[in-house]
Structure 1
Amino acid sequence: MKYYLCRTDGLETRKHVITPENLVFSGGGIKGIAYLGAIRALEETGVIQGVKRYSGASAGMIIAALLAIGMKEKELYRQMIAIDFKSFLEESRVKIEMLADDPKMLLEPMTSAMVLYDEVVYRGLCDGSYFTKWLIHMFKRKGFDGKTTYKQLYEATGKELHCVLCNLNYGKTVIANHEDTPDMPVVASVRASMSIPFIYRPFEWKEDIYVDGGTMYNYPIEIFDEGCPADNTLGFILSSKNDILTPSRREDKNLWQHIACTYEAVRNVANEYCFRGGNEYRTVFIDHKHINTLDFDLTYEEKEMLIKEGYQATYTYITKGKH
């Protein structure tokens, strides 16, 4: 069967963005650790010094928020290289990592009953409390906490943070920031933006239900274009060009693989917009070396590999743009 290929011909060739005021990070689940390398390159080249605004979706939003509160690459590295990301799947009655390794567990009456109950009643297996506690810990390291609102963050730092969310009640992408949602807690919105459907329970705020912003707008590269020149924004995607345009076949033989394949498909369609919209010139493409969005069981070597890819892709982009 022939699959659709996004057209890339006829797009305007423009110079790289090397003095950005805005940084935008795509979603990509566990692959987001590659952004540590990207940040390292931004700091080494001095590019990050002029940044005033941050945005992202899902895993990209986590990085955007941590940069907005003043985190530096070395501190982020120390905190994230040691963490066992499987812990982000805790606080669920079913051990998801075990379910991923042995999908036949679903054939056990008790396991299948708990999964069905949690999906029907709570609309997700994990409540996300471990991740929320971790993020609050990170915020407290910079003098903020879990109740810090967008307005308070902007007043304290002068940096704008724009969070991409999916509002299920209206079926629309919405943006949380200091102007539109000044009283919304930043930590809560980040928790909402990384709420992978069916894995994490959705987030409710003012009677509306929110899930992973990456489900509808995984790469919000144009989020600042209304008020800023396009050349002021630099974006990062957790995929190589080839992975977006000609993706490799993935296995879909059990529930976990089915969720992963569905999620990757949705994200890839969103990422294709980078080419349709002519945004390739202001995008850093980071090769994830076939690490999947839901591969929470990363080894130290795999983490370092992703960080290296993020660094090399970003450093190459910046240095080429200066010549």
Structure 2
Amino acid sequence: MDFPRPRSVRPRKNCRLWSAADQGRKHARSGPHGTRQPQGVAQAAALGHHRAPLTEPSAERERINLIMAGGGVRLPAYVGALAALEEMGVEIVQIAGASAGSIVGSHLAAGWSVDQMRRLAIETNFATFKDLSLRGFLFEGGLYAGDSFERWMHTGLKGARFKDLPRDLFVTAVDLFGRRPFFFSRQATPDFPVSKAVRCSMAIPWVWRPLRWEHKLLVDGQLMPWIPSGIEIMQGSESGPPLRTVMLRLISEPRGNLPAKRHLWPWDFAKILLETMLSALENQRVSGSLWENTILINVGTVHSLQLDIGHAEKERLFQCGYDQARRYFHKKAAPPPSPAAS
């Protein structure tokens, strides 16, 4: 199966990292609402951007493996980081992702350009994925069926299976029956549809229905620690010398206290509990062995289940991912300080 090859993107400049004080800030450009399919996105008018000044590229292009953790609707931040990596000449060899990271990672592995992914992330109306299923909520563990999301992914990836992808991709889900992470990949599940694997990876319990497959009950990949295992699996599949693994990770800011209600409806309690749990998971401490190669992207108070997120907010997330990735690689490339004169 043939996929398009990546093209370059020109991101905007001078976007600050998100803070709560920025909420409601207007941006000069936003796209139309309601985009459902990638075909319409690919035909959208080109966005005008300004390229930030670059340092001199190194003579040897760095090759890395890339991990993108969860993040829900905040996936434009990952796309912004990819734009920075592309501009700085970083080659991504293998990709691993969970939840939002698997959405972006699967499109990257299928050959989508950063520009195409940016348009997709910003112009897609995530609220169209609310395919309510009362039966699913009562008996199958998910308020939304997830079928609408899977069709959207299937169309964008042209029905690709893992063996069809130009790049190695590892999509992470959690098997509740086995109580451990499960990795979809070319090696383990060559004929499995990528769209269905990503659906498993973003199936937050009680929000999207989990998927049963081969005696497994698969849910969101961020519900258990998986990154050390993911790094080990990627390194085991490499044919050449081991590559550095870089992790993109989103962190959020406190949203403030909720109004103290005397009575809470069950769905209000479930929503508060779920948002608190997801926030705690994404703000876990990064271990020392991973810290050096981790790029933290501050997404502010935007939470992962904010399906009605607007265009301006998505543009901001894109720019924050772009800025933080550039800072990281510029810092890595900077020469060490000269010793003080004695």
What TM-score bracket applies, with the shorter chain setting the length? 0.7 to 0.9
For the structure 1 residues 221 and 271, does the alpha-carbon distance in structure 2 shift closer, same or farther, using more than 3 Å as the test? farther
- Alpha-carbon distance in 2 for matches of 1:68, 1:306: 22
- Alpha-carbon distance in 1 for matches of 2:208, 2:313: 24
Q: How far has the Cα of 1:23 moved from its partner?
A: 0.6
Q: Secondary structure at the match of 1:182?
A: coil
Q: Deviations over 1:174-202 (max 9, x none)?
A: 11111122232211111100111101011
Quote the residue 2:110 is aligned against: 69
Q: 1:184 aligns with which of 178, 189, 192?
A: 192
Quote the residue 1:301 is aligned against: 312
For the structure 1 residues 163 and 187, does the alpha-carbon distance in structure 2 shift closer, same or farther, using more than 3 Å as the test? same
Quote the residue 1:42 is aligned against: 85
Quote the residue 1:220 is aligned against: 227
Q: Deviations over 1:3-55 (max 9, x none)?
A: xxxxxxxxxxxxxxx934211001011112211211111111111xx221001
Aligned partner of 1:27: which letter?
G
Quote the residue 2:329 is aligned against: 318
1:251 aligns with 2:294: no
- Alpha-carbon distance in 2 for matches of 1:130, 1:293: 18
Native 8 Å contact 1:126 1:199 kept in 2: yes
- Alpha-carbon distance in 1 for matches of 2:63, 2:248: 12
Aligned partner of 2:103: which letter?
I
Q: 1:56 aligns with which of 82, 87, 97?
A: 97
Aligned partner of 2:68: which letter?
F
1:92 aligns with 2:164: no
Quote the residue 2:174 is aligned against: 166
Q: How far has the Cα of 1:80 moved from its partner?
A: 2.2
For the structure 1 residues 173 and 86, does the alpha-carbon distance in structure 2 shift closer, same or farther, using more than 3 Å as the test? same
TM-score (norm 2): 0.71
- Alpha-carbon distance in 2 for matches of 1:170, 1:185: 22
- Alpha-carbon distance in 2 for matches of 1:260, 1:308: 29
For the structure 1 residues 83 and 268, does the alpha-carbon distance in structure 2 shift closer, same or farther, using more than 3 Å as the test? same
Native 8 Å contact 2:81 2:321 kept in 1: yes
Q: Secondary structure at the match of 1:163?
A: strand
Quote the residue 1:28 is aligned against: 71
Deviates more, 1:168-177 or 1:249-258: 249-258
- Listed as ranges, the matches of 1:270-285 within 5 Å are 271-274=283-286, 276-285=287-296
Q: How far has the Cα of 1:88 moved from its partner?
A: 1.5
Q: Using the aligned pairs only, state the percent identity.
A: 29
Quote the residue 2:244 is aligned against: 232
Q: Secondary structure at the match of 1:21?
A: strand
Q: Secondary structure at the match of 2:308?
A: coil
Structure 2: stretches of 5+ with no match in the other structure: 1-60, 335-342
For the structure 1 residues 43 and 308, does the alpha-carbon distance in structure 2 shift closer, same or farther, using more than 3 Å as the test? same
1:138 aligns with 2:181: no
Quote the residue 1:119 is aligned against: 137
Aligned partner of 2:212: which letter?
E
For the structure 1 residues 293 and 257, does the alpha-carbon distance in structure 2 shift closer, same or farther, using more than 3 Å as the test? farther
Q: 1:82 aligns with which of 114, 117, 123?
A: 123
C-alpha RMSD over aligned residues: 2.4
Q: Secondary structure at the match of 2:302?
A: coil
Q: How far has the Cα of 1:172 moved from its partner?
A: 1.1
Native 8 Å contact 2:250 2:282 kept in 1: no
